[in-house]
Structure 1
Amino acid sequence: MDFDYSPKTKELQAKLTQFMEDYIYPAEKDYAAEMAANTAAGKRWTPLQTIEQLKPKAQAAGLWNLFLPVDTAEASGYHGAGLTNAEYAPLAEIMGRVVWASEVFNCSAPDTGNMETIARYGSEPIKARWLRPLLDGQIRSAFAMTEPEVASSDATNIATRIERQGDHYIINGRKWWTSGANDPRCKVFITMGKTDPEAAKHSQQSMVVVPAETPGITVLRALNVFGYDDAPHGHAEVLFENVKVPVDNILLGEGRGFEIAQGRLGPGRIHHCMRLIGQAERALELMCKRASSRTAFGKLIAQQTVTQERIAEARCKIDMARLLTLKAAWMMDTVGNKVAKAEIAMIKVVAPSMACQVIDWAMQVHGGAGISDDFPLAYAYANARTLRFADGPDEVHRNAIAKWELGKWAPHGSNAPVPVTRGC
């Protein structure tokens, strides 16, 4: 593994870092003010102009759809940055320093995963109808997988029914944590459900593309995370009642839902983990600045031994998480997602826990200010803690890692399946 970044990545890192300095960080106060104004006016789910006005600047700077992998770009006929997972990962870290920044570059969930899914597994008519508008940032999308009535950390439990009737599928079920469903720009759902309850365990599920205006779809409520609703994007509880779509809307074919989920979630986990590393880096930066400027009990907080220990531990934890995530990205590029399954699972355990700890230490150094909205730390913590569930809870990944590790010493190797769990 080459620990140096490619010249292409270095160039994009410099451009992206400059864009963040010039536009994103200065816009954080505007973002907060616009959110407050929209709330006061009863327009909380209105797209934010703070973000919308920055999107043309990102496009003009050549910082648009950076996430789109080489193979997906080729499949979609769209020639974007064409980066590998290892090349994109450090860019995701830079964008992750501000929780909402990824959307400015059309690199935010669930659209990234949905675009890759449609490009890789969708028919040509599906690509023509949905992929181009998503790539152009004209619409947004939702991903409907998790359900409130079953333990969705085991995706074989998903019970939403997708039943074929002639030339159509009829969808019935209740979803929640459906990312993007509240956004007024959301025009399409990618929905996972059960097409054949009698099939083999991992062949029962399928994914279908569902236009958002299809009769029978009801967004029941927005869900909060530690008091944050992530408007205007958000996560929702959604009811599907006799939702009727053409059979041509299925992705890849009946019973292929798990296969699609695994192809979708692999890159998404890299994106999430690197964004978390970016958040942790910024938290450490804010922690050091605060500790160096505040005096308590007769000396700077930075001179307190406990603070120094935490800063040192944070530096170690961030660098370890980054190296493991970059290794996973490199393996996905060189040997494929299946071979990299253990590394992908490990980063999903390591990165969110690391970010939670580092951000927590940073909040502690800030005192009461750290848990207020005067600093981005509380929101970053809520985001990091959420990602200990999204793309699979820690316990699922730890269980899989342990099985694979034990399998190395088993007489006939391990047959532990790759975990397929909820993703954004």
Structure 2
Amino acid sequence: MNFGYSPKVDDLRRRVRAFMDEHIVPRHRQWLDEVHAGQFPASFMEDLKARAKAEGLWNLFLPNLQEGEPGTRLTNLEYAPLAEIMGRISWAPEVFNCNAPDTGNMELLHMFATPAQREQWLAPLLDGTIRSAFAMTEPDVASSDATNITTSIRRDGNDYVINGRKWFITNAAHPNCKLFIVMGKTDPDAETHRQQSMILVPANAPGLTIVRNIPVMNHISPEGHCEVTFTNVRVPASSLLGEEGSGFALAQARLGPGRIHHCMRSIGAAELALELMIERSQERKTFGKYLHQHGTVGEWIAKSRIEIDQARLLVLKTAWLIDEVGAKAARKEISMIKALVPQLHTTVCDRAMQVFGAMGVSPDTPLADHWTWGRALRYADGPDEVHLQAIARMEIGASKEILGASAAYLTPPLRD
């Protein structure tokens, strides 16, 4: 494992950082002002996307693009440090067409869509002219176990009919969201992991209703984390993604690389929080000392640096494993980073907020918004507890292969 950045990746890091510094960071205040005034997407978003595409900073996350598809063709390990840079500003990934949930949806379509589905949905997503949503979680069941979902996808002649209720569906309120990838049950009587399927539903399909945009920690996200109902939504049978019964497997394929993206963006947010904490601690004095000269604040700075670097190395290792052996073989490491990094995200942001005092919970810094999203990530893509249980199961399973090997360490020493 060599996690040193190649000259290619170093060049991309420099270019992405320069683009952020020149075009995105200076517009953050304008983005906030416009969004709070009801202007969304921001007036400059399409111009920035066109500039990023022209500079070759587009679709950085897909390694297997076909000839003619726009993008940079990076491995997970190559893309990871770029996602970290984008994570410093919450809306930056969209500029590079690297925003969730579109990235995961594009990966699904790239792997499993028919030629007609690719032309209708994947091509405009890769081009950045539309956005999409992924509808899996439901309010009436524990969606941390995807086998619990109850949305019905019923075959009716040449169509499928969809009925159900979903919530916390990201992007559903985005004006450019044109596609929902919906996970539901096509055969409730099949084997547990073969009951689910995925289907492609146009956002304007009759019977698809956006009920509300749910606030997250009392913050409204303009792209939406919405409650959505499907009432006798009818789509052609050709809208099925993959085959009947493959929905659970498709969801697992989608979530592996996506968790790398989320985690590296979180590390970027934590890096920004640490930078702000350090800067503030050198500017503000209390009781005759700069804040960093107080033992507690100095310890926070040191711990944050240690924890961020530890987390980054584990995420890079996981990205490398996915590239080398696939997401299925790297499932333990994927669960490890997903359980670890959101906690890191909120911990470092929380320390920085404390150093800023009351200003840290105000809109005058990005810390409160970053903390809020970090807290939400402890549910997204599976709650911490599910990942911890999965890790424990895999550790217990592996231990059975060497059961008894440690017995010698427990044997009392012989005495004369």
TM-score w.r.t. structure 2 length?
Answer: 0.95
Secondary structure of the structure 1 residue equivalent to 2:44? helix
Tell me which of 46, 53, 64 is aligned to 1:59: 53
Equivalent position of 1:247 in the other structure: 237
Matched, 1:410 2:404: no
CA contact (8 A) 2:70 2:126 kept: no
User: Aligned partners of 2:355 and 2:82: how far apart in 1?
Assistant: 28
Give unmatched runs, 5+ long, in structure 2. Answer: 404-416
Aligned-residue offset at 1:238: 0.3
What amino acid sits opposite 1:274 in the alignment? Answer: M
Aligned-residue offset at 1:80: 1.6
Aligned-residue offset at 1:79: 4.7
CA contact (8 A) 1:147 1:175 kept: yes
User: Aligned partners of 2:266 and 2:208: how far apart in 1?
Assistant: 33
Matched, 1:385 2:375: yes
User: Aligned partners of 2:47 and 2:375: how far apart in 1?
Assistant: 30
Equivalent position of 1:112 in the other structure: 103
Aligned-residue offset at 1:217: 0.3
What amino acid sits opposite 1:242 in the alignment? Answer: N
Aligned-residue offset at 1:339: 1.1
Q: Percent identity?
A: 54
Tell me which of 149, 159, 163 is aligned to 2:140: 149
Tell me which of 280, 287, 300 is aligned to 2:270: 280
Secondary structure of the structure 2 residue equivalent to 1:410? helix
Matched, 1:355 2:349: no
Tell me which of 199, 217, 224 is aligned to 2:215: 224
Matched, 1:134 2:139: no
List per-residue Cα deviations over 1:91-130 (Å, max 9, x = no partner). Answer: 0000001111101111101111111111111111000001
User: Aligned partners of 1:35 and 1:256: how far apart in 2?
Assistant: 39
Matched, 1:271 2:261: yes
Matched, 1:182 2:173: yes
What amino acid sits opposite 1:382 in the alignment? Answer: T
Once superposed, what is the RMSD of the aligned Cα atoms? 1.3
User: Aligned partners of 1:195 and 1:410: how far apart in 2?
Assistant: 37
Secondary structure of the structure 2 residue equivalent to 1:49? coil
Equivalent position of 2:225 in the other structure: 235
Runs of 4+ in 1 over 6 A off after TM superposition: none
User: Aligned partners of 2:400 and 2:151: how far apart in 1?
Assistant: 37
Aligned-residue offset at 1:184: 1.4
CA contact (8 A) 1:96 1:275 kept: yes
Aligned-residue offset at 1:37: 2.5
Matched, 1:91 2:106: no
CA contact (8 A) 1:97 1:278 kept: yes
What amino acid sits opposite 1:203 in the alignment? Answer: R
What amino acid sits opposite 1:229 in the alignment? Answer: I
Matched, 1:338 2:328: yes
Matched, 1:304 2:294: yes
User: Aligned partners of 2:402 and 2:312: how far apart in 1?
Assistant: 33
Secondary structure of the structure 2 residue equivalent to 1:306? helix
Equivalent position of 1:417 in the other structure: none
Aligned-residue offset at 1:77: 5.2
User: Aligned partners of 1:31 and 1:24: how far apart in 2?
Assistant: 9
Aligned-residue offset at 1:50: 3.5
User: Aligned partners of 2:192 and 2:400: how far apart in 1?
Assistant: 24
Aligned-residue offset at 1:52: 2.7
TM-score w.r.t. structure 1 length?
Answer: 0.93
User: How many equivalent pairs are there?
Assistant: 403
Give unmatched runs, 5+ long, in structure 1. Answer: 414-424
List per-residue Cα deviations over 1:274-318 (Å, max 9, x = no partner). Answer: 000000000000000000000111110011110000000000110
User: Aligned partners of 2:302 and 2:99: how far apart in 1?
Assistant: 31
Aligned-residue offset at 1:51: 2.5
List per-residue Cα deviations over 1:199-238 (Å, max 9, x = no partner). Answer: 000000000000111111010000111121110x111000
Secondary structure of the structure 2 residue equivalent to 1:86? helix
CA contact (8 A) 1:34 1:50 kept: no
What amino acid sits opposite 1:16 in the alignment? Answer: V
CA contact (8 A) 2:266 2:341 kept: yes
User: Aligned partners of 2:204 and 2:379: how far apart in 1?
Assistant: 29
Matched, 1:21 2:21: yes
User: Aligned partners of 1:88 and 1:404: how far apart in 2?
Assistant: 28
Structure whose CA Rg is larger: 2
Secondary structure of the structure 1 residue equivalent to 2:90? coil
Aligned-residue offset at 1:185: 0.9
CA contact (8 A) 1:194 1:206 kept: yes
CA contact (8 A) 1:30 1:50 kept: no
Secondary structure of the structure 2 residue equivalent to 1:64? coil
CA contact (8 A) 2:138 2:166 kept: yes
What amino acid sits opposite 2:253 in the alignment? Answer: G
Tell me which of 153, 165, 169 is aligned to 1:162: 153
Aligned-residue offset at 1:162: 0.3
Equivalent position of 2:411 in the other structure: none
